[in-house]
Chains A and B, each alone.
Chain A
Amino acid sequence: AQSVTQLGSHVSVSEGALVLLRCNYSSSVPPYLFWYVQYPNQGLQLLLKYTTGATLVKGINGFEAEFKKSETSFHLTKPSAHMSDAAEYFCAVSPPFSGGYNKLIFGAGTRLAVHP
């Protein structure tokens, strides 16, 4: 069975500092991988996704993530945090075949705080 672990339920950074949100997955085959962001009182927004091909994926709002098969990781980074990045971030996986592709399995989420 697939699972997702997000290390750190809360991460706090200074404005302008590097953002690093960690995600590790457990899967018998390399899954499809996703990062979503949820702002307060809103739904989720897809930040980026990895399916196949280049392992470094660029997303919206300056975020990127790198798929490392050897480490079963898909960490999310942003070089310079902005106050508007404060939100909850969810890593998710889905099996790489039709039928299961639509059943996302989410991590528990990491709440990112950005302070001046």
Chain B
Amino acid sequence: EAGVTQSPTHLIKTRGQQVTLRCSPISGHTSVYWYQQALGLGLQFLLWYDEGEERNRGNFPPRFSGRQFPNYSSELNVNALELEDSALYLCASSSDRAGQPQHFGDGTRLSIL
């Protein structure tokens, strides 16, 4: 069974640019979660999508947004990139709306220059 897959694995951007990160959940999983793992800040909850809808959002500015597609894959978009957006972005999925993110991808490492 394929796990949660994320692309790309690494990205380098400059301040002010926009970026799109992609996530494919485990087959059959309808919920997708996004977390940011920044140096010194730990793991922070970003977004939760289920059945195509945004269900919950962490304490991040509106320039962090995303969507979930009919096939349950998801995109995370970050506009107007800032230096502090440099982090590992982790996607996770679960099969149960009431469940916790059980399976994480290996992440996308975003570096802002």
Where the two chains meet, the residues of A that have a C-beta atom closer than 8 Å to any C-beta of B are: 32, 34, 36, 41-46, 49, 90, 92, 94, 98-99, 101-109
A46 near B45 with CB under 8 A, answer no
Instruction: Give the CA-CA distance A32 to B104 in the complex, in Å.
Output: 19
Asked whether A101 and B104 contact (CB < 8 A) given A43-B4, A109-B42, the answer is no
Mind listing 8 A-B residue pairs with CB under 8 Å? Answer: A43-B90, A43-B106, A101-B99, A102-B98, A103-B56, A106-B44, A107-B42, A109-B43
Instruction: Give the CA-CA distance A109 to B4 in the complex, in Å.
Output: 22
How many chain B residues sit at the interface, stated as a range, is 20 to 34
- Asked whether B25 is an interface residue with its Cβ less than 8 Å from the other chain, the reply is no
Instruction: Give the CA-CA distance A4 to B8 in the complex, in Å.
Output: 31
Residues of the B chain whose Cβ atoms lie less than 8 Å from the Cβ of A92: 43
B35 to chain A, nearest CB (A): 8
B101 near A90 with CB under 8 A, answer no
Instruction: Give the CA-CA distance A98 to B55 in the complex, in Å.
Output: 11
B8 to chain A, nearest CB (A): 14
Where the two chains meet, the residues of B that have a C-beta atom closer than 8 Å to any C-beta of A are: 4, 31, 33, 42-45, 48, 55-56, 58, 90-92, 97-107
A66 to chain B, nearest CB (A): 19
Instruction: Give the CA-CA distance A41 to B55 in the complex, in Å.
Output: 29
Residues of the A chain whose Cβ atoms lie less than 8 Å from the Cβ of B45: 103-105
| The one of A41, A42, A102 that contacts B101, using a Cβ cutoff of 8 Å | A102
Residues of the A chain whose Cβ atoms lie less than 8 Å from the Cβ of B43: 44, 90, 92, 104, 106, 109
Residues of the B chain whose Cβ atoms lie less than 8 Å from the Cβ of A99: 56
B90 near A49 with CB under 8 A, answer no
Residues of the B chain whose Cβ atoms lie less than 8 Å from the Cβ of A107: 42
A44 near B100 with CB under 8 A, answer no
B81 to chain A, nearest CB (A): 22
Contacts A43-B91, A43-B92, A92-B43 known; 17 new A-B pairs at CB < 8 A: A42-B106, A43-B90, A44-B104, A45-B104, A46-B100, A49-B100, A94-B100, A98-B98, A102-B55, A102-B56, A102-B101, A104-B100, A104-B101, A105-B45, A106-B42, A106-B44, A108-B42
